[in-house]
Chain A
Amino acid sequence: SQKIEQNSEALNIQEGKTATLTCNYTNYSPAYLQWYRQDPGRGPVFLLLIRENEKEKRKERLKVTFDTTLKQSLFHITASQPADSATYLCALGGKLIFGQGTELSVKP
C-alpha cells in the first residue's frame, strides 16, 4: 500500500545549526511533493512545492531536495532559529496524502 514516512522522533538542535528532516515514501510515483509547517493549535501552512524534475528548491533559509530514485525528500532549514520550532509535514499524491510530521525544536 502507499505509505509516507517521516521521522516520528522529535528533532532537537541548537540555534544556528542546520536542521534536516526526512520524508520517505513507498508505492508512489509523485510528480511533486509539498512541505508544510504546523504550529500547535493551528492548521498547516504551505512552505514549498518541488516537482520531480527539480532536484532542489530553495526559499530563503529553506531548501528541499527530491530524489525519485531513493523515493525521498529532504527538508533543510539553515541557520535555524527558535522561531523555526514547529511540526513539519510532507505531502504528496493526487489527493495530497500527508506524512505524520516531524517535530522540530530549536534551542537558543
Chain B
Amino acid sequence: NAGVTQTPKFQVLKTGQSMTLQCAQDMNHEYMSWYRQDPGMGLRLIHYSVGAGITDQGEVPNGYNVSRSTTEDFPLRLLSAAPSQTSVYFCASSASLVVSSYNSPLHFGNGTRLTVT
C-alpha cells in the first residue's frame, strides 16, 4: 500500500519555466489537496478537490492550476515559475466523501522540494 506518492522529490526550475508536480493515491480517497510549506509560515492550502472533475481554490492559489480527471491523480501545474514559488509542496488525501467532512485525517506524501532561480 503506497499511500500518497509525489514525484519528483526535487526540482530546479528557471523563472518562467512550467512544470507539473505529480500526486497519486491508491486509497480511493475522494478528497485531495495541495499545500506549500515555507519556513515560519506553516502549511498553506493551494487547491483542493472533493472528487473527480471538482476542484476549488485554497488560501494561496495564484500561479497554480489543478485538474482532477481521475480519483487517483491530482497534478499541480506551475504555468510560469517565479522565485516566490520556491517551496516544499505536499499533496494530501482524505477519506472524506462530502464537503462538510473535510476534517477526517489527511494522509500526506513526502513532498516535492522546488527551487526556482
Q: Which residue numbers of A lie inside 8 Å of B, CB to CB? A: 4, 8, 31-32, 34, 36, 41-46, 49, 89, 91-92, 94-101
The reply to whether B45 and A95 form a contact with Cβ atoms under 8 Å apart is yes
Query: Given the complex, which residues of A lie within 8 Å of B68, measured CB to CB?
Result: none
- Among B14-59, those with CB < 8 Å from A are 33, 35, 40-45, 48, 58-59
Query: Given the complex, which residues of A lie within 8 Å of B102, measured CB to CB?
Result: 94-96
B78 to chain A, nearest CB (A): 20
The reply to whether A44 and B108 form a contact with Cβ atoms under 8 Å apart is yes
How long is the Cα–Cα vector from A74 to B59 in the complex, in angstroms? 26
The reply to whether B105 and A43 form a contact with Cβ atoms under 8 Å apart is no
How long is the Cα–Cα vector from A36 to B107 in the complex, in angstroms? 10
Chain B contact residues (Cβ within 8 angstroms of A): what range?
Answer: 20 to 34
Q: What per-residue 1/0 map shows which CB atoms of B89-114 lie under 8 Å from chain A? A: 01010000001101111111111000
B99 to chain A, nearest CB (A): 8
Q: Which residue numbers of B lie inside 8 Å of A, CB to CB? A: 4, 33, 35, 40-45, 48, 58-59, 90, 92, 99-100, 102-111
The reply to whether B92 and A43 form a contact with Cβ atoms under 8 Å apart is yes
Closest B residue to A99 by beta carbon equals B42
The reply to whether A8 and B40 form a contact with Cβ atoms under 8 Å apart is yes
18 A-B pairs in the complex with CB atoms less than 8 angstroms apart: A8-B40, A31-B103, A34-B103, A34-B105, A36-B106, A43-B4, A43-B110, A44-B108, A46-B105, A89-B42, A89-B43, A91-B106, A92-B103, A95-B33, A95-B102, A96-B106, A97-B45, A99-B42
The reply to whether B40 and A46 form a contact with Cβ atoms under 8 Å apart is no
The reply to whether A49 and B43 form a contact with Cβ atoms under 8 Å apart is no
Closest A residue to B113 by beta carbon equals A41
Query: Given the complex, which residues of B lie within 8 Å of A97, measured CB to CB?
Result: 45, 59
The reply to whether B109 and A43 form a contact with Cβ atoms under 8 Å apart is yes
The reply to whether A49 and B92 form a contact with Cβ atoms under 8 Å apart is no
The reply to whether A49 and B105 form a contact with Cβ atoms under 8 Å apart is yes
Of A89, A97, A99, which is in contact with the most chain B CB atoms at under 10 Å from its CB?
A97
